[in-house]
Amino acid sequence: MASSLAFPNGHGTIGLSPRARFSDIPRSIDIPVSAGDEEEDDENALVEVDPDMLPDDPTELCTLLENERSPKQYWMYIALAYAKHDKVDFAIEIIAKGLQAKTHEPMPERLPMLHLLTWLYLERSREAAKNVAGMNMSQYLLETMLNPQPYSEGSALISEAKTKDHYLQLATQILNESSRLDPASILVTLARGVYSIFKASVGTADKNTHMDNAAKIFDDAVRTSRATNMLAIMGRARVLYGKGRYEKALESYQEVLTKRPDMDPDPRIGIGLCCWHLGHKDDALVAWERALELDPNSKYAHILKALYHLHVTSNLSEFDPEFINNYRLVIEHTQKAFKLDKQFPLACTTFASHFFIKRGYSQCELLAKKAIEYSDVAAVTADGWFSLARKAHVEGEYEKALGHYKRSDALREGYLPAKLGIGQVQILMKDLGAAKYTFEAIVQANPKCIEARSILGTLYADEVLSAIPRTGFSASKEDVTVLHRKAISLLENVRFTWKAEAKKNDAHHETILLSLARLYENDQPERALQCLLQVEEIYKYLIDNGDDVMMPVQLTNNIATLYWQKGEFNTARTYYQGALNAIPELKEKDEAADTDALATTLTYNLARCEEAAGNIEEATKNYEKLLAYHDDYVDANMRLAYLALRRGAEDGHKRIQKLMQTDGNNLEVRALYGWYLGRQKRKHPIIISEDPEQRHYKHTLQNYEKHDRYSLIGMGNIYLLAARDIKKENEQEREKRRKLYEKAVEFFDKALQLDPKNAYAAQGIAIASVEDRKDLKTAVSMFSKVKETLSKDAHSLVNFGHCLAGLDQWARAIENYESALTKFQLGKDPTTLTCLGKAYFSKGRKERTTEPEKSMESFKNALDYAKRALAIAPDNVMYMFNVAYVQFQIVQFIMSLPETSRSLEDLEAASKGLEGGIQSFSDIARSNNPPYPSSEIEARSTMGKNTFRKQMERAIQKQREYEEKNQAKLAEARRKREEDLRRKREAKEAEEREVEKRNKAIADQRKKMQEEAREFAERKAAEERIREENSDGEKKRKRPSTSGSKSRSTRKRGGKKDGTIDSDSASEPSRRRSKSKSAITDDDEQKPARKRKKLTRRASPTNKGKFKSSEVVNSSDDEDDDDILAPPPAPPPEVPEEGGKKRKRKPARAIDSGDDEDLEDTNEDLFGDDFSKTTGGPKDSDDVEMRDRAPTPGVGDED
């Protein structure tokens, strides 16, 4: 890696001067021209062209070169001179005319010009904009802002402007022509690699394909040049960097720096970028500073150094001196980069952010647009869109800001600021459902993002707190509970990070702590109090540090109220009094503050606290003190009236009557008056129509508020009392009593619908159920009998169905409902249809967790019955509401199902029903007598439009993708299974082939050994025949046989006196050698060893094989010693042949243990009795050592 290479950041190259670009251009371009009429003798006439003093129009030079038929180098010098002065378009024009003039010239004359034209097009593409209109307008506006000049719509800028794609297409054409002329040219290869990188930068569709193509091109070029082509190595490094392989890219950049320190482009820029992404930001700065030392006009080094200092400022406080110093360096280096290239995208985005901070929104917009048009890096383009989004966000153009944020997010994957911007704009656009979805995704992808967790927790908290009144709230209790837990979890997680970072007294924490306090207020007041006390500590800290703030009176009031609810009345009283004492100071600091309202609220709360503490006199004084300033304060008058009535004071009746006269339309006053009437004595049995309390509640419900819960519960209690007074002497009285109970239940049920947490209503229903039907089991038995008795009464079936439904016996309940509907009501009773729908709906809700498939079917049946009821009574808004409500519930249920448990068809049907439900709720809200408040019904419709509709669209899209993906997965699994079977089959076949090959090799080896054994036996037989023929001459030269030699000969021949060799001794010749060695070693000290002679004879003319013998008799003592002392791995000695040639011994073959059984039989056949019988075997007196066959390796001498 970096540590293994010299000069990792470019240091160590002291005195190095970078090689200037365009250094091949001569200082003076001397173009040879033909002599004129006046200078006929001057054959060396020249036209001198100064590369730094070129004419504005190159047409005259092109004409000169064309007329004089100048060689290619002059065309190229002139073009490069123009390109050096950033006039690339003129350079392109010159080379194009030169190629046109050399149309019929040979390839060597045209090919270099084609190469140059290719690189000019690529360079021009790099500088061009993505589209003509945006480039020209932003260019014009920016130039006007910096250097005002007249602008005309028909200027050359508009007419001659080309896009990046245009120049890349031209480069492609020239590359194809160059490839046709010289396919093996390295310049063509490198140009194609650079072209692929440019294509990957311009478009995102085939980015990976182009990058892979570039990587292959550069890798081949590096391999072909044996790593000597620096431009190819630079290209490879650029590709690796683009793919995010920063360590490998760093190695390539450092390789270039080591081999070519003066390389242009400077590899130090790439080294710094790789170090930056690898987390070594200080090393990156060192590399960029070195690049600036070598080239002070490097715009890339300037802007990258600016970004480094900008990164440093992000970790500093605005008031830190280092922040100011670093930000000054940011502006300084950005200005230098911008002056070097006013179309430099990175400089434009940096300045755009600077102008946004300075509120220069017009400059910010122009610079951001310029960066977008000229950038070919997705991240820089995303920064441009982000700057435009921030500008639109600040100016209130939320639709435009949302679009810009989304484009920035799409270009730069995982760009957190853009995602946060999207969510914030969605909140400002009141699209809270989409905002929650956005922040949920951010939190899931970035769990440590404090901003996202804070905003998402606040959104959840607002939704929960808005649902606390629950006057027809659309969500169920479970939904609110889940949201409540989520909100607390998110905000508590943020709060925990404060503790970890020791930031307990940060003023920015106030909002989150107040939201937590409101969430804890109902269920966990202790935690709510802790949050408020922490806010109090923040203000105390700010006040102690000299900040011009004061303790909020509202905060003190809330802390006191929580202490009051906790029962700590003295502490609560202290806080209330402290808040009252702070009101004059608040009035001095903020004249616009409504101090009178605050004082009124605090005085009333203090009085309630004294009342709860039992200080009735003190409470009465505070109420009267409050009424002295506001005699129409209803709550204070009510509390005084209530206290008087509780005491039995004479003025209690007067006070309540006066309240009814002055504030009779106040529901709280009417509720207090109803309580007062209920305390009065009434006659029994109760006559409903004559009861004053019943008439009062009825009047309230009919004329003031039909959803007044207190009045509804009061009516239920009255009917409950009336039912108790009715005797059950006959059927008529029982029926009347039953109807009164049902009437009472209706009122209680209505109150519960409005307030599901109302314990009084739930208690009334329970009492009515027990008194009327005793208990459910008994009621089931009773209704079963009633159904048999009143076989023609549909109500008995319906009531029986109610009771069965209460026991969750949905099938039997539905059966009774359907019997009532079909047998007695001809299927046209809307009430029974509604009961059926309700039963199916309840059944579906019960099955939703255990059997979702059946649950969906139940929901569909509920919707069908609700629609049938509505068809019978189309003007009944309650039936319309039922249909819409079931449709909404189906939508919620089907969206909660996983993709595996639902289908695209069901989702589309639910979506269609959702549209109908939205329309129904809108119609109900506009009706004259809606069953619920119009605002709440309209809220349901709005929620369906804003939340459910979008969620359904996403669910349908997700389901469609899932089903398509599932099909693809099945196909992929099928393909993988077939591939696995194919691999197994191929592996089995390969194994069989390997076994077959191994068996064949063993068979061939066995056959070869048999052949060698046969040849050996034939050769020995021939030698024996020759020995027998010349026995007379041999006996004269033979030594007398002794016991020692005889024993040695016997050992060499297998240890048998009869001269035969058994299989064991033949298979282990090395063991025989070890014995000879030991014998020689023992005898050396006592007596000299007896010399032995090797007898070799010339081969018979009939034996023309490779085994030859010599008639020379050599002493074998030295050879025997060498054989004994030589290490086993030594190569086999060469045996001399006739003619002075040497014959190598055959290398010994190691035989696997698995072949032993086969070889044993072979050895017995080769060297056993058959051999001795054939040849007669060696004689005891024959002291002839056979050296032709090498000893078998693998058996040590130690054996």
Tokens representing residue 494 in the block: 């943020």
pLDDT grade for 1034, boundaries at 50, 70 and 90:
low
Comparing 824-828, 845-849, 1112-1116, the range with the smallest average pLDDT is: 1112-1116
Q: CA nearest 865: which of 844, 849, 879?
A: 879
| pLDDT cut 90: percent of the chain above it | 22
Tell me, what's the pLDDT at 791?
58
pLDDT grade for 1078, boundaries at 50, 70 and 90:
very low
Q: Pick the more confident residue, 1191 or 1003.
A: 1003
User: 10 Å Cβ neighbour count for 71?
Assistant: 14
pLDDT grade for 64, boundaries at 50, 70 and 90:
confident
pLDDT grade for 269, boundaries at 50, 70 and 90:
very high
Summarised one tens digit per residue, pLDDT across range 308-325 is 999 999 888 777 889 899
Taking 50 as the threshold, does the pLDDT of residue 337 lie above it?
A: yes
Mean pLDDT of 1153-1170: 40
Average pLDDT for the chain: 77
Taking 80 as the threshold, does the pLDDT of residue 717 lie above it?
A: yes
* Residue 759 CB partners (closer than 8 Å, separation 6+): none
Say how far apart CA 1164 and CA 1159 lie, in whole Å: 8
- DSSP, collapsed to helix, strand or coil, labels residue 1038 as coil
Cis peptide before 261 (omega within 30 of 0): no
392-401, Cβ contacts within 8 angstroms, sequence gap of 24 or more: 393/421, 393/424, 393/425, 394/356, 394/361, 395/361, 398/425, 398/428, 398/429, 399/429, 401/425
**172-201 burial string, b = 16+ CB within 10 Å, else e?**
eebbebbbeeeeebebbbbbbbbbbbbbbb
Summarised one tens digit per residue, pLDDT across range 1088-1136 is 444 444 444 444 444 444 433 343 334 444 444 444 334 444 444 444 4
Taking 80 as the threshold, does the pLDDT of residue 75 lie above it?
A: yes
Taking 70 as the threshold, does the pLDDT of residue 1176 lie above it?
A: no
Backbone angles phi, psi at 985, to 5 degrees: -65, -45
Mean pLDDT of 98-104: 84
CATH for 682-773, among 2.40.50, 1.10.3210, 1.25.40, 3.40.1350?
A: 1.25.40
Tokens representing residue 505 in the block: 């007294």
Tell me, what's the pLDDT at 45?
80
Tell me, what's the pLDDT at 561?
93
Which residue matches tokens 């819409």? 884
Give 31's strand partners: 47
Q: CA nearest 492: which of 421, 525, 484?
A: 484
Taking 50 as the threshold, does the pLDDT of residue 83 lie above it?
A: yes
Mean pLDDT of 154-164: 48
Which spans in 1101-1168 are helix H? Answer: 1117-1125, 1156-1167
- DSSP, collapsed to helix, strand or coil, labels residue 1144 as strand
Taking 60 as the threshold, does the pLDDT of residue 305 lie above it?
A: yes
Mean pLDDT of 838-849: 82
Summarised one tens digit per residue, pLDDT across range 678-690 is 877 666 667 777 7
| pLDDT cut 70: percent of the chain above it | 75
User: 10 Å Cβ neighbour count for 1043?
Assistant: 8
Mean pLDDT of 138-152: 40
Tell me, what's the pLDDT at 43?
55
Comparing 809-813, 948-952, 983-987, the range with the smallest average pLDDT is: 809-813
Tokens representing residue 416 in the block: 């957190």
Domain boundaries, the chain: 443-468+476-549, 682-773
Mean pLDDT of 523-534: 90
Q: Pick the more confident residue, 778 or 458.
A: 458
Summarised one tens digit per residue, pLDDT across range 616-651 is 999 999 999 999 988 889 999 999 998 888 887 778
Tell me, what's the pLDDT at 947?
85
Could you tell me if 275 and 290 are in contact, meaning their C-beta atoms sit under 8 angstroms apart? no
Taking 60 as the threshold, does the pLDDT of residue 502 lie above it?
A: no
Tell me, what's the pLDDT at 899?
79
**Is the overall model pTM greater than 0.85, yes or no?**
no
Mean pLDDT of 586-602: 88
Mean pLDDT of 455-459: 91
pLDDT grade for 1165, boundaries at 50, 70 and 90:
very low
Give 47's strand partners: 31
Tokens representing residue 1192 in the block: 């078998």
